[in-house]
Amino acid sequence: MDTSFTDRQWPSADGLTLRFREYGSAGDRPPVICLHGLTRNARDFEELAPHIAAQGWRVLVPSTRGRGDSDYSEHSESYALPTYVGDLLALLDQERIERFVAIGTSMGGLMTMLLAQAQPERVAGAVLNDIGPVLETEGLDTIKSYVGQGRSFPTWMHAARGLEEVHGASFPAYDIQDWIAMAKRVMTLSSSGRIVFDYDMKLAEPILASPEAAAPVDLWPAFRALAGKPLLLLRGELSTLLSAASFAEMQKVAPTAESAVIPQVGHAPTLDEPEARAAIDRLLARVA
């Protein structure tokens, strides 16, 4: 499988240079845009994106402001969902994309719902990965316990062990090689030679200051904007952010959506799991 991509950029309204990976080439289908979670970056989709591109899709994978190779903002208050959605709309405008398929993990799923609520005609189909209109307090508290801490590590093995300490309950089947692979997705080698998390620590400030910064209070109208579209709902079996009860309610509101629970995984599935990969392939076949 060809895993090559083109590293490209687009400007934000407030002057940042934001980066995205482009896989595949444009065709008659709407492109697929993969949107990562809160502290993640474009590397989250380094296996899924080429898999989709190999099926004839153009795939764009942005790193949201303050993550990966995208510029950091001087203003922590810009690390908020409305700004992220505005940045995404700027990317769509630059690339002249009228409609697209969204694959949104966690925060990326919140962005997908909000964009669909504002401009429903832009979303041709969507995958919501371990996210929904209701965010459980337990899951939010877990995120607040580690986001923005700025830990660093001397080796990739230390980094992997550090991740396991924090996220082990969400990935009980992972071995050390899995943790090293995850570390190389979420961390980078700093100029000091230490391994650090690949995001701006300031992005935690709005979340820690106000619960509403993580997500708007009522997201059900945003979710309903997706309900009639080709839609895939995924939940990690062990997730503490998306409860089984909320997941069941989402299926009632969107009865034509496909849903799947990914076993032995918490928040959030990587989308490299066989069950997730097969379900995404079916969703894309519906759109095509």
What pLDDT shows up at residue 2? 84
Distance of CA 49 to the CA centre of its chain: 13
- Residue 206, pLDDT above cutoff 70: yes
Tokens of 162: 């550090």
pTM of the model: 0.96
Which is higher by pLDDT, 216 or 124? Answer: 124
What pLDDT shows up at residue 86? 98
- CATH H superfamily, domain 6-141+202-287: Alpha/Beta hydrolase fold, catalytic domain (3.40.50.1820)
pLDDT tens per residue, range 60-114: 999 999 999 999 999 999 999 999 999 999 999 999 999 999 999 999 999 999 9
For the segment 256-264, the average pLDDT, to the nearest whole number, is 98
For the segment 163-186, the average pLDDT, to the nearest whole number, is 97
Q: Tell me the pLDDT band of 50, cut-offs 50, 70 and 90.
A: very high
- Sign (positive/negative) of CA torsion 6, 226, 272, 195? positive
Q: Tell me the pLDDT band of 15, cut-offs 50, 70 and 90.
A: very high
Q: Which positions ≥6 away from 200 have C-beta within 8 Å?
A: 66, 67, 72, 73, 79
Q: Would you list the domain boundaries of the chain?
A: 6-141+202-287
Q: Output the DSSP codes for the chain.
A: -----EEEEEE-TTS-EEEEEEES---SSPPEEEE--TT--GGGGTTHHHHHHTTT--EEEEEPTTBTTSPPPS-GGG-SHHHHHHHHHHHHHHTT-S-EEEEEETHHHHHHHHHHHH-GGGEEEEEEES--S---HHHHHHHHHHTT---EESSHHHHHHHHHHHHGGG-TT--HHHHHHHHHHHEEE-TTS-EEESB-GGGHHHHHH-GGGTS-S--HHHHHTTTTSSEEEEEETT-SSS-HHHHHHHHHHSTTSEEEEETT--S---S-SHHHHHHHHHHHHHH-
For the segment 188-209, the average pLDDT, to the nearest whole number, is 95
